[in-house]
Amino acid sequence: MSQVSIERRDGIAIISVDNPPVNALSQAVREGLTRYIDEAADDDSVQAIVIICTGRTFIAGADIREFGRPPEPPHLPDLIARIEAADKPVVAAMHGTALGGGLEVALGCHYRIATGSAKVGLPEVSLGLLPGASGTQRLPRLIGAERALDMMLSGKPVKAQVALEVGLIDQICDDDKLRDAAIKFAVSKVASGPRRISEMTVPDVEPDLFDKTRTAIARKTRGLMSPEKIIRCVELSTQVGFDEGCKAERELFLECKKSPQSDGLRHAFFAERAVSKVPGIGKNTSVRATDKVAVLGAGTMGAGIAYSCLTAGCTVHLLDNDEEGLERGATTIRKLYEGGVARGKISEEEMADGVGRLSTTTDYG
């Protein structure tokens, strides 16, 4: 089954990506998008184009499993350039999360619409990378250098409403009406034509913005490669033309990608996900209810575990070698509850209920 498809409706070409679970930008997806963008651009019956995704999310990033392999065309920067070069308005219709390469694809489109629950971001810094498909050059032109730096250096996604307020997206729609809203929006932009970010200039910045940013993140990012390279790329977006900035971005991206630092962070990324997948245990595996827990050791860690189990509604049996240790553990648990009451997180009644489900013993038999 093809991972990309096209249909036409009321003069609008709707290009759909279907590559579960997160519609990653695999080679097949890149090839399909390129093919159908060209097809729609050459079709005189098509007045505008919508790029949308099926499933739970818009394109949630590049397929980083391809990073260890020789690159296969079409390359992501080339795809994005092809999208932007279309002489008909191209609208990105986003839901779920548009992250990394997914947001870069959206930035290559001429307009962007998103559901109210959508989030967008460039999290590459967490993998020791920088946005390497024109993101460091497009985002500052669209929302300003300072906001762009914040998004890229933090790696945190922003909500659709925030994205709308800063100009990253053009319209928000109801979660269940994205397709129809995107088509209607695309129709409304036929007369306006394409609006290309590459033809924009970065809004004026404070002269000391980049030096201040380097100073502000110096301690937190000490020893890391990609934050400084991100700053340099955004700085270049204010100093050189779009094409020259993209060339520098690509060179710096490849430096990061080839580094042991990024290799280690990507390894950790996959490892963290692998440990949550136990062989032989799938989504349909029956789960046995657990409402009674025994915790061995009433020290700081044991008391904390016991408290967490109590707050989850379990009955907890706390074991230790002597009564003195048990008393310290029980006192720690009571103080944790009292802290919750003081902060207004729980009521006195909930504290009493939790403490009432705690029993202690020195008998391991």
Is-contact 62 22, C-beta < 8 A? no
Structure tokens at 145: 């250098």
Catalytic residue among 7, 31, 124, 350: 124
Residue whose structure tokens are 């986003």: 94
Determine the Cα–Cα distance for residues 17 and 7; give it in Å rounded to an integer.
12
Is-contact 225 128, C-beta < 8 A? yes
7 is catalytic: no
Phi, psi of 13 (to 5 degrees): -90, 125
39 is catalytic: no
Determine the Cα–Cα distance for residues 229 and 213; give it in Å rounded to an integer.
12
Nearest residue to 24 (alpha-carbon basis) of 101, 120, 129:
101
Catalytic residue among 104, 199, 249, 327: 104
Cα 182-185-186 angle, rounded to 5 deg: 85
Structure tokens at 300: 């700081």
Determine the Cα–Cα distance for residues 149 and 198; give it in Å rounded to an integer.
18
Is-contact 97 157, C-beta < 8 A? yes
Contacts by 350-356, CB closer than 8 A, 24 or more apart: 354/310, 354/311, 355/310
Residue whose structure tokens are 């730096």: 149
Residues with catalytic annotation?
104, 124
